Structure 1
Amino acid sequence: TQRQQDYARAAGETTIYTPQFVIAGQDIVIGARGMDVADLIAARRIEDQPVDVDLTWTEDTLSITAQMDDTPAQDGYVVQLAQILPVQSVDIQRGENAGKTIQYANVVQSITVLGQWDGVEPISFEADVTDADQVAVIVQRGTNGPVAGAAKLIN
């Protein structure tokens, strides 16, 4: 909820919705607008990202490297690690789906800030990913700005 509120504030929005998508840290779309979501994902996917992110997973350790391909932003970047479950069943307690069990895909279990980065020199991190099935590393301007680079890895 806090992350969703931060994105809304950064975009000058006063209302948040559930479900809601934030695409590439830039576009906020109500989840019921499926075609808008698909179109924005397709448009952002073909854009060049200024940061190359490489991931290597060895046993319980994730090695991360990031390198800038362009001029870095003056305000720098935040490197974040998202640990993801491929599927999770949730018993819904309230609302219009109360009493139902819904299966969600690609459920983010945690987001950890690995560090700040100025983008000038390549950077590397190592992270313990003992309990993860999938991970994504997101490099973005601030914690709620445009995504400059990302990578996902499945163990």
Structure 2
Amino acid sequence: ERFTSQGCAYCPPADALLGKLIQQPGIIGLACHVDYFHVTKNSLGQPFCTRRQNNYGRMLGNRPRYTPQLVVNGQKDLIGYEASKVSAAIMKARAKKAANIPMTQDARGWYSAAMPPMDLQGAPVRVWMAVYDAPHRQAMTEGNNLGKMVTYYNVVRRIDDLGPWDGSPALRSIDPHFGPGSGGFALVAQNEVTGEIVAAGKVER
């Protein structure tokens, strides 16, 4: 998960890096645009992204918030454009790979998510759905990135709380309510105390 803003001068290189990362197998990349930068035109900022970043700050040990912040598997945060450090953090996270959540679509256009059996040892885990945009280019007309044409990848437009999960195998029926420009959605099952992503899956349109 990357926390970013159109108004952040250091974020375009991190946007480009995210575009490369999401091409790799086994990686789910989300760009959550915070709303505390002053962007008045075509803003991608969302209050829920700021809240989610603040929650990570608490779970990761009262870290100060910044952009571009990349959080790997809910456990490690680092500067989002430092490619070598990001790659190393991802390699380390792969050693403790999150379980896959397979998803299939039915005739209605809804999706069935097969939650895998997991021993969560009583940990409080909650399932979240993040609906994100398809990649799109946007010209910046104000702020630190004035005049730049930036490609944005997997911009999160909505995050829904799908409730707790106790690790039991189950089928969850999901309607992502795709809108114009939607690129797909991701499901993440996340430890509410440590932030660890224990299971995840995605659907791309």
TM-score range, shorter-chain basis?
Answer: 0.7 to 0.9
Instruction: Answer whether contact 2:54 2:65 (CA < 8 A) is retained.
Output: yes
| Structure-2 separation of matches of 1:38 and 1:84 | 23
Question: For 1:28-69, what per-residue CA distance to the aligned partner results, in whole angstroms no more than 9, with x for missing partners?
Answer: 1111322111111122124233x4411112352111121234
Residue 173 (structure 2) pairs with residue 126 (structure 1): yes
Match of 2:3 in 1: none
Unaligned runs of 5+ in 1: none
C-alpha change, 1:98 and 1:143, in structure 2 (3 Å) is: farther
Match of 2:68 in 1: 19
Match of 1:8 in 2: 57
Match of 2:137 in 1: 89
Aligned runs of 1:136-155 on 2, under 5 Å?
136-142=186-192, 145-155=195-205
Counterpart code for 1:40: A
Instruction: Answer whether contact 1:61 1:127 (CA < 8 A) is retained.
Output: yes
Counterpart code for 1:34: A
Instruction: Answer whether contact 1:84 1:107 (CA < 8 A) is retained.
Output: yes
Unaligned runs of 5+ in 2: 1-49
**Structure with greater strand percent:** 1
Structure 2 counterpart of 1:43, from 71, 87, 92: 92
Give the TM-score of the pair, scaled to structure 2. 0.66
Give the TM-score of the pair, scaled to structure 1. 0.85
Identity %: 28
Q: Per the alignment, in what secondary structure is the counterpart of residue 106 of structure 1? A: coil
